[in-house]
Amino acid sequence: MALLPIRTYPDPVLAQKCRPIDQVDQDIRRLAEEMAETMYDAPGVGLAAPQVGRPIRLIVVDTAEGEQRGNPMMLVNPEILEAEGELVFNEGCLSVPDYTADVHRAARVKVQARDLDGKPVHIEAEGLLSVCLQHEIDHLDGRLFIDRISQLKRSMYRKRRLKQLRREGS
């Protein structure tokens, strides 16, 4: 197992619409394990495959705290079936360094996916888990949380980020 390098804004892979996974094979299982390991190491509460450079519909999520942590959801082709209510949550992202912002999301979602054995999974989520699932599924459609804030805030972050990257010489 290896930690995977995390792609950061404005890497174009983060803006790509990811393709569905036809079959869960050894490569996908290994990728999911490595993504989970990378998420725990960061640490973060979720990670989507495009964040490690793979534009496919796979996410890992763990919103538990403390000793409960370590039992990640690994979801293939996750889809939001129903969304209701509204909440505002201060979000960050491993691919959007040094920035958080308030984002409006649905308060509750029903998500359908497959697990790594190809079995259907249904999740009803609220609170942090609901936010996290919406955030990760957004990644699969090439959308970052900064695409859900005002244009002014987004362009201020973009300028700051590009300046930072120039300073780092990348």
Torsion of CA 43, 44, 48, 51, to 10 degrees: -50
Mask of contacts with Ni ion, 40-79, x by CB under 5 A?
A: ----------------------------------------
- Give the nearest distance from C-beta 139 to Ni ion in angstroms: 6
Report the largest interatomic distance among the alpha carbons of the chain, rounded to a whole angstrom. 47
Burial class of residue 18, CB neighbours in 10 A (0-12, 13-18, 19+): buried
Whichever of 76 and 94 has its CB closer to Ni ion, that residue is 94
Cβ-Cβ contacts under 8 Å for 15 (sequence gap 6 or more): 142
- Give the nearest distance from C-beta 93 to Ni ion in angstroms: 3
Q: Which residues of 117-152 are buried (b: 16+ CB within 10 A; e: fewer)?
A: eeeeeebebeeebbbbbbbbbbbbebbbbbebbeee
Known catalytic residue: 86? no
Question: Applying CB under 5 A, which part among 4-12, 34-42, 54-62, 90-98 lies near Ni ion?
Answer: 90-98
Question: Applying CB under 5 A, which part among 30-38, 60-68, 92-100, 101-109 lies near Ni ion?
Answer: 92-100
Mask of contacts with Ni ion, 93-122, x by CB under 5 A?
A: x-----------------------------
- Give the nearest distance from C-beta 118 to Ni ion in angstroms: 26
Give the DSSP H/E element, type plus range, for residue 129.
helix 127-140
Active site residues: 136
Binding site for Ni ion (CB under 5 A): 93
